[in-house]
């Protein structure tokens, strides 16, 4: 499998041998609402179904790759909930200092 990860300022290409479990965040994709024509065209397209035999797999292939799911929950994000009040110049300085202390920015 080959995947490209968007790292805001650059892209990272990640490769792994199959079988692979790939997990993404909930904000990965904004679904597009199909037009009526697209819905009608999709209804006429052939449906392709594959089973293990069609892929050349046997029950023994699955027994070798046992997977234990420990959790499928996303980590809880803790927000700092910091509100800066007062003069804007002091707030900017305080914000930058906080970001440096958290390791988000370099001093």
pLDDT by residue for the chain (107 residues), tens only, comes to 898 888 778 899 989 888 888 877 776 777 778 899 999 999 999 988 888 888 888 877 777 667 777 888 877 878 888 888 889 989 899 999 988 998 888 87
32 within a domain of the structure (yes/no): no
- The reported pLDDT for the residue numbered 64 is 66
The pTM assigned to this predicted structure is: 0.30
4 within a domain of the structure (yes/no): no
Q: Which residues contact 1 (CB under 8 A, 6 or more apart)?
A: 15, 16, 17, 18, 20, 22
- Domain residues for the domain of 97 are 78-107
27 within a domain of the structure (yes/no): no
107 within a domain of the structure (yes/no): yes
104 within a domain of the structure (yes/no): yes
What CA–CA distance (Å, rounded) separates 34 from 54?
31
20 within a domain of the structure (yes/no): no
45 within a domain of the structure (yes/no): no
Q: How many CB atoms lie within 10 A of CB 104?
A: 9
Tokens at residue 54, please?
A: 């069609």
- The reported pLDDT for the residue numbered 37 is 93
Count up the domains in the chain and report the number: 1
């Amino acid at each position: 499998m080959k995947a490209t990860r968007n790292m805001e300022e650059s892209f990272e290409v990640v490769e792994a041998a199959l079988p692979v479990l790939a997990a993404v965040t909930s904000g990965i994709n904004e679904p597009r609402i199909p037009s009526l024509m697209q819905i009608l065209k999709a209804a006429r397209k052939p449906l392709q179904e594959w089973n293990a035999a069609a892929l050349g797999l046997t029950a023994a292939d699955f027994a070798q790759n046992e997977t234990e799911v420990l959790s499928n929950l996303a980590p809880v994000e803790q927000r700092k909930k910091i509100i800066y009040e007062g003069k804007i110049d002091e707030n900017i300085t305080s914000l930058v200092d906080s970001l440096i202390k958290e390791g988000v920015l370099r001093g």
